Amino acid sequence: MHHARSVLTVLFLVGSLGAASPAIASEGDSSPPSVTSREVNVLRQVALALAAGSDAIQDLRGPPIENSNLDRLKLATPGMDCGIARSLMFVACHSASLNTKEAEAMFTRIIDDAQAALPSDSWGQVEAVRPVPQPGLIRSISYHNWKSGAQIDVDLVGQATGEAQPLYFVRVFGWARI
């Protein structure tokens, strides 16, 4: 699973370079959008599809992402570029580059969405196991589906840029047990 996740990371980061979206906030308003029931519903739909398996994941596929091994997620995900792998069964999302405050707010919002969206009888928060240290990883929270083995990781990552302030982004990986 670690090898598949490493492949996933490389594929998604390469794919997101060509398909990066603009920052989630305009210059005049640097606060991330607030939590809505729609965002919670999107997370719930993705979690249910991961737990259900490949047929349910197929229903979430949108058009292919150019120069990538991913298809777009059919559901709108404000502030995040999301894709579904064609060869492995996973969903990957990556935010645009943010400042510290925006990134921490988005990370917190996604964790709040996860707690509201994931049924507690089948999903639980678990300690993220990182066999290999990941550069720039600041915080990580994982959710595991006890019935299917599906997992969702939410990471807050910092990236040095050569400037005084590093850039930050939030990434979300979800995969089904194969």
Does residue 131 lie in a domain region? yes
In a domain, 153, yes or no: yes
157, containing H or E segment: strand 151-159
Does position 163 have pLDDT exceeding 50, yes or no?
yes
- Is the predicted pLDDT of residue 15 greater than 70, yes or no? no
pLDDT of residue 36: 54
* pTM confidence score: 0.73
Per the structure, the complete domain to which residue 80 belongs is given by: 2-23+33-175
Q: Residue 146: phi, psi to the nearest 5?
A: -65, -30
List pLDDT tens digits, range 88-137. 778 889 888 888 899 999 999 999 999 889 999 999 998 766 667 788 89
Helix (H) or strand (E) holding 73: strand 70-73
**Would 28 be classed as within a structural domain?**
no
- Cβ distance 111 to 141 under 8 Å? yes
Which amino acid belongs to residue 158? G
State the total domains in the chain.
Answer: 1
